[in-house]
Amino acid sequence: MTEEGTPSVTPAQAAPNLGRDARFEREVLSCLPDLSRFARSLTHDATDADDLVQESCLLAYRGYHTFRQGDDARRWLFRICRNSFFRQRSRASRFEPIDDAGDPAAESLAMAYGHLAAVQRGEGDLFDRIDVGPAINRALRELPSSFRVAVVLVDMEELSYEEAAVVAGVPVGTIRSRLFRARRLLQDKLFAHARDAGIYPATCATKKTADNQ
């Protein structure tokens, strides 16, 4: 016992915790850059992303006993982060209901038709003439959260459909449906951004001038 009357911790008792902390730092905290990027993609706000990362790391530390050695620590962290994000949104009453009835094949066909229509309007090369980085960030920000999660996990973090489904806690078919619909929505938003930037009207004017010469 210590002088204050609290039980003392012997080196032998402390060793398991030290080993656990070392493993947590090696296996989990090494994924912090990926976790930070994922959180920023979800929140689109640096302060909110930092808070989400801190909460996710705290939950991961508390629940580290549930982590199975050999599992993908990054995927495990992403799942914790995603769940924390939606809990925060639910508490703030900003959760959007998602319709997952979409058909990936139909969404792909719609994307193809959308691109063909853009080419016919003279917009086929718009993305070659604008800085798509800010446009993509804005478009992602406007997507429903569940669609944004699918895009970030598969297209940005390069997880497989199966891995993304585990992180999102939904069936693989739902991930595919959300992803294809999100891609089509992004395409539409990017074309709209280009037109809002005044590039499409300028293109049309140039084309008409060339046709009249």
CA atoms within 13 A on the CB side of 192: 10
Q: Where are any strands of DSSP class E within 105-185?
A: none
CA atoms within 13 A on the CB side of 50: 2
Residues of the chain with CATH 1.10.1740.10: 11-91
Residue count (the chain): 213
pLDDT tier at 16 (50, 70, 90 boundaries)? low
Cβ-contact 136, 62 below 8 angstroms: no
CA atoms within 13 A on the CB side of 69: 3
Residues of the chain with CATH 1.10.10.10: 104-212
| pLDDT beyond 90 at 159 | yes
pLDDT tier at 5 (50, 70, 90 boundaries)? low
* 97-to-44, 90, 93 alpha-carbon distances in Å: 20, 11, 11
| pLDDT beyond 50 at 202 | no
* 146-to-84, 128, 169 alpha-carbon distances in Å: 13, 29, 11
Cβ-contact 147, 182 below 8 angstroms: yes
What CATH architecture does domain 11-91 belong to?
Orthogonal Bundle (1.10)
Cβ-contact 64, 22 below 8 angstroms: no
Q: Whole-angstrom Cα distance, residue 67 to residue 85?
A: 20
Task: Record the pTM.
Answer: 0.64
Share of residues in the chain with pLDDT > 70 (%): 62
Q: Whole-angstrom Cα distance, residue 213 to residue 211?
A: 6
CA-closest candidate to residue 82, choices 115, 101, 55: 55
Per CATH, domain 104-212 is 1.10.4100.10: no
Cβ-contact 177, 185 below 8 angstroms: no
Maximum Cα interatomic distance, the chain, rounded to a whole number of Å: 97
pLDDT tier at 194 (50, 70, 90 boundaries)? low
